[in-house]
Homo-oligomer: A and B are copies of this chain.
Amino acid sequence: MTRRIPQARDRGIPDATVARLPLYLRALNGMAERGTATVSSEDLALAAGVNSAKLRKDLSHLGSYGTRGVGYDVQYLIYQISRELGLTQDWAVAIVGVGNLGRALANYGGFASRGFRIAGLLDADPHVVGDRIAGLVVEHTDELESVIKKRGVSIVVIATPATAAQQVCDRVIAAGVTSILNFAPVVLAVPDGVDVRKVDLSIELQILAFHEQRKANGGPIMAEEWPDGVVM
């Protein structure tokens, strides 16, 4: 892990902040569509579902873009956050694995509107290769490296079965990709310098189940912990 040496102008935006910026961006876009010109931290925080002090602190990491007594200019803040997140440029994304999930992702409207252009759909199954989905023709995974290079793909989404994920991962990294969004239920091994983010549908349900169980069991004080001899 690279040691963070604080620079004169420290550009180290906390991870927790980065994770919330897209949230603010969405809320702001909604406001822009409704014609709102300026917004206070209080209102924006409400719309984004966070505390207003946190919102202000988050935004302060980007710079001082508000006006005291007034609030934030919606359009300007959209621009600043977009720029910080790198959404003012176009990102070519390839989706590997065109099962149910891959299809859903290909058809998901939320990508294109944020500068993510789907530049390739690939699958190993010959029955799927050639299908037209969301305006693209599915290509065979044999073409993976050439698609990445020819179309300047810099982000790859892995939506393959778990068994194929690591191999796909290795190949895209060898082809120069350093940002991967992984939907396969495996922990990918990657070298330093490669970012992997993971979305796991069943993990989210498990976390919900944990809390649901707590609620069902009559609150935080649980009467009997060891109902009866569960022994190794």
A26 (CB) vs chain B CBs: closest residue: B185
| Contact B220–A208 (Cβ < 8 Å) | no
| Contact A11–B85 (Cβ < 8 Å) | no
Number of interface residues, chain A, beta carbon within 8 A: 76
| Contact B202–A116 (Cβ < 8 Å) | yes
| Contact B210–A85 (Cβ < 8 Å) | yes
Binary interface profile of A, 192-205, with partner B (CB < 8 Å = 1, else 0)? 01010101111111
Binary interface profile of A, 205-232, with partner B (CB < 8 Å = 1, else 0)? 1111111110110001110010000101
A12 at interface, CB cutoff 8 A = yes
Stretch of A52-60, A104-112, A121-129, A142-150 contacting B (4+ beta carbons < 8 Å): A104-112
B contact residues around A71 at 8 Å (CB): none
Among B89, B111, B209, contact of A115 (Cβ-Cβ < 8 Å): B209
Among B2, B19, B86, B111, contact of A212 (Cβ-Cβ < 8 Å): B86
B contact residues around A204 at 8 Å (CB): 181, 197, 199
The 6 closest A-B pairs by CB, nearest first: A86-B213, A100-B104, A110-B202, A49-B187, A22-B206, A22-B203
18 pairs, CB–CB < 8 Å, chain A vs chain B: A4-B220, A5-B220, A19-B203, A21-B206, A22-B200, A22-B207, A76-B232, A79-B230, A85-B209, A91-B209, A100-B103, A108-B202, A110-B201, A111-B201, A115-B209, A181-B208, A197-B204, A197-B207
